[in-house]
Amino acid sequence: MITNDSTTSNITRRIFREVARLTWNGELEAKKDFIPETIIPGPLPQFRCCIYREREIIRERVRLARGMCPGKNDTRNIVQVIPAACDDCAIASYTVTDNCHGCLGHACYESCRFGAISIVRDHGRIRAHIDPQKCRECGMCSKNCPYQVIVHQVRPCKQACPVGAITMDEETGLCRIDESKCIQCGQCIHACPFGALGAKTFLVDVIHMILAGRRVYAMVAPAVEGQFGPDITPDSWRNALKKAGFADMIEVSLGGDMTAAAEAAEWAEAAEKRERKTTSCCPAFVNMIRKHFPELSGNISTSVSPMCAVSRLIRERDPEAVTVFIGPCQAKKSEALDISIADNADYVLTFDEAVEMLRGRDIELEPAPEYTQQGSTYGKRFGNSAGVTAAVVQCLKEQNIDPEQISVKVCNGAVECKNALTLMKLGRLPEHFMEGMICEGGCIAGPARQKAATELKKDRDAMIGRADARGVHENLKLMDADAIHMHRD
C-alpha cells in the first residue's frame, strides 16, 4: 500500500538537500542544528499542532539523513521509527464505534472467548467496550454484531509490513520494529500517513568520500530508466554525477547480465541434481528467507546480485575504488552492510537521496542526446517482475540448453513470495526455481520509485526500445565483464 505521501516526501527531500548542501560546503557540523528552523521558519505550524513538534520531527529526520538513528535509538536497522511523528493512530485493532445501539442480545459479548468485551454506561448510553489488553483480535465480535458497528482498524504501517515486524507499544502508543523479523523492504515508510517511519542514509558518507579525493564510482540501477521521464537517460546521470565529483558511472543493467549468466549455469547444474533454488537479487527477499524461512537458506542462489557484480567489476579495474549504488530500494542498504558478501557496494543511495545530493551542489539531471549502452535489453529489464527469469532463460538459450526442462515460479510481491516459500519448505513447490521480488512489479516499483507504475512502464518501454538487441553473453564480451567471481563468498 502506497499512500499519497507527497507532503512527507517533499519535506524529506528538502532535508536531504539541505544536509547535502551543508556537507558540500563543510558546514554540516556547525549548522546542522539550524536546519529545523530553516525548513520550519514559523511562527505558525505547517502540518502539526505546533512548530516545536514539527521542528523535532525535522531534527530526527536530519539524524536519519546523517546515517544515525532518531531519538535515543541505537540499532543497525535501516528502517527506523521517528518517535515525534508517531502517536496519532489508534492502538486497538477492534473498536466499537459510536453507532453501537447497546442491544439486548449482546452478540459481541457472547461471542468473545477472552473476556475482552464488557457492557458499560457511557455518557448515559449503554454500549459495548473492548479492553485492548484482553483482546486477541480474533474478530468474532465484529463478525457477530448485527449492526456491524465493531470495526477492524489496523495501523497502515502494520498493514503494509509483509512479515509482521511492526507492533505497538501500549504504554506510549508508538509503533515498534522487531528487527529480528524486519526484512528492510521499506514498505511501511510510504504507507504511514504521518511520515513516522524513515530510513538511515549514506548521504553524508558519500559526499565526504568525494571531498576527500577518493575515486568514487556510481552504479545506477536498471530501474532508473523511465523514472525521471524519457529524456533522462543513464548518460544524464553519468554527466551529472561526474560534475559532482564521481569518477564515473556504470549501469547495473550490466550487472544484471553478469548475474543472469551466473544463475543460468547454477540453474542448469541444480536441474540435473533435481535441487530447488531461489534467486538472490532482491535483498528483501533474501532477508525474508534468512529470517522467516531459515531452513531454506541453503536454497538461495550463490550468485551475487547485479549491484555486487558491478562493484566487483569496478574494483577489478580500480582496486582503490569506492562504489555507490543508486536505485529505488531501501533493502539494498542492508545488503551493502552484509559483511558476509565480499567486495559489495560500499554505500547505497535511493533516487531521492542521489538527486538531492546533486541539487545540494546546484546540479540538475539534464536530457542527454547520446545513448551509451552498457547492459543488454535483458539486463535493463532485470528490475521488472519476471525480468530475472527472462534473462536467465535467454542465457540458457544462448548456451543451447533447453529452458523447457527448467520450471520457474515467478513471485510478484511479498504475499506470493511467502506462499511459495511455504510450499518449498513443505516440499510441495512443483517448480524447480523461484524468482522472488518483494515489491509488486519488481524493483521498478520499489519504495523510492518516482512515478506510478502505468506511467513508468510507458517511458521505460520507450527508452529500452532504443537499445541494441544484444544477447546477454554477447554484451558481456563486448563490455569485457565475463571473468568476475560471481559467488557470494
Architecture of domain 6-89+155-201: 2-Layer Sandwich (3.30)
Q: Quick check: 5 pLDDT over 90? A: no
Give the confidence band of 90 by pLDDT, cuts at 50, 70, 90. Answer: low
Rounded to two decimals, what is the model's pTM?
0.91
Going by C-beta distance under 8 Å and a sequence separation of 6 or more, which residues neighbour residue 317?
none
Quick check: 287 and 183 in contact, CB under 8 A?
yes
Going by C-beta distance under 8 Å and a sequence separation of 6 or more, which residues neighbour residue 169?
175, 176
What is the pLDDT, as a whole number, of residue 221? 97
The bridge status of strand 277-278 relative to strand 94-96 is unpaired
Cell of 32: 546542522
Range list of H helices, 293-413: 306-317, 331-336, 351-359, 377-380, 387-398
Of 200 and 154, which is predicted with more confidence?
200
Quick check: 219 and 238 in contact, CB under 8 A?
no
Alpha-carbon distance values, 210 to 24, 247, 383, 488 (Å)? 9, 9, 28, 28
Give the confidence band of 174 by pLDDT, cuts at 50, 70, 90. Answer: confident
Q: Quick check: 3 pLDDT over 70? A: no
Determine if the peptide bond prior to 43 is cis (ω within 30°): yes
Give the confidence band of 466 by pLDDT, cuts at 50, 70, 90. Answer: confident
Residues 321-346 have pLDDT tens digits of 999 999 999 999 999 999 999 999 99
Cell of 6: 507527497
Position 48, amino acid = R
Range list of H helices, 194-251: 203-211, 234-244
Q: Which helix (H) or strand (E) holds 253?
A: helix 252-273
Quick check: 224 and 252 in contact, CB under 8 A?
no
Quick check: 216 and 324 in contact, CB under 8 A?
yes
Residues 364-380 have pLDDT tens digits of 999 987 778 999 999 99
Range list of H helices, 25-92: 28-31, 35-39, 51-65
What 8-state DSSP symbol labels residue 305? P
Q: Quick check: 1 pLDDT over 90? A: no
Quick check: 291 and 446 in contact, CB under 8 A?
no
Q: Quick check: 2 pLDDT over 60? A: no
Alpha-carbon distance values, 45 to 18, 50, 227, 403 (Å)? 20, 5, 33, 61
What is the pLDDT, as a whole number, of residue 456? 83
Question: Three-state DSSP class for 464?
Answer: helix
Quick check: 28 and 204 in contact, CB under 8 A?
yes
What is the pLDDT, as a whole number, of residue 153? 82
Give the confidence band of 482 by pLDDT, cuts at 50, 70, 90. Answer: confident
* Residue reference for cell 524461512: 293
From the list 246, 256, 447, the residue with the least C-alpha distance to 350 is: 447
Tell me the mean pLDDT in the region 4-22: 90
Quick check: 449 and 456 in contact, CB under 8 A?
yes
Q: Which residues on adjacent β-strands are paired with residue 128?
A: 119
> Could you give the CA distance from residue 168 to residue 7 in angstroms, rounded to a whole number?
25
Tell me the mean pLDDT in the region 51-65: 96
Where along the chain do its domains lie? 6-89+155-201, 94-152, 204-478
Q: DSSP readout, 360-374? A: TTT------S-----
What is the pLDDT, as a whole number, of residue 259? 97
Cell of 422: 511455504
Q: DSSP readout, 87-99? A: --S-S-SEEE-TT
Instruction: Tell me whether the CATH fold assigned to 6-89+155-201 matches the one assigned to 94-152.
Output: yes
> Could you give the CA distance from residue 356 to residue 379 in angstroms, rounded to a whole number?
27
Residues 313-323 have pLDDT tens digits of 999 999 999 99
Residues 64-84 have pLDDT tens digits of 999 999 987 788 899 999 999
What 8-state DSSP symbol labels residue 332? H
Residues 406-420 have pLDDT tens digits of 899 999 999 999 999
Give the confidence band of 91 by pLDDT, cuts at 50, 70, 90. Answer: low
Cell of 475: 554484451
Going by C-beta distance under 8 Å and a sequence separation of 6 or more, which residues neighbour residue 408?
389, 393, 431, 432, 433, 434, 435
In whole numbers, what is the pLDDT of the chain averaged over residues?
92
Residues 420-458 have pLDDT tens digits of 999 999 999 999 999 999 999 999 999 988 887 777 888
Judged by phi (left if over 0) then psi (alpha if -120 to 50, else beta), residue 127 lies in beta
Give the confidence band of 102 by pLDDT, cuts at 50, 70, 90. Answer: confident
Q: Is 294 exposed, middle or buried, given 0-12, 13-18 or 19+ CB atoms closer than 10 A?
A: exposed
Residues 109-158 have pLDDT tens digits of 999 999 999 999 888 889 999 988 888 888 999 999 998 899 988 889 99
What is the pLDDT, as a whole number, of residue 488? 82
What is the pLDDT, as a whole number, of residue 369? 75
Q: Which residues on adjacent β-strands are paired with residue 126?
A: 121
User: What are φ and ψ of residue 58, in 5° steps?
Assistant: -60, -40
Residues 376-406 have pLDDT tens digits of 999 999 999 999 999 999 999 998 988 888 8
* Residue reference for cell 517533499: 10
Give the confidence band of 98 by pLDDT, cuts at 50, 70, 90. Answer: confident
> Could you give the CA distance from residue 392 to residue 379 in angstroms, rounded to a whole number?
10
Tell me the mean pLDDT in the region 237-258: 97
> Could you give the CA distance from residue 136 to residue 156 in angstroms, rounded to a whole number?
19
Going by C-beta distance under 8 Å and a sequence separation of 6 or more, which residues neighbour residue 44?
51
In this structure, whether the domain defined by 94-152 belongs to CATH 3.30.70.3000 is answered with no
Position 148, amino acid = Q
Tell me the mean pLDDT in the region 211-239: 95
What is the pLDDT, as a whole number, of residue 93? 79
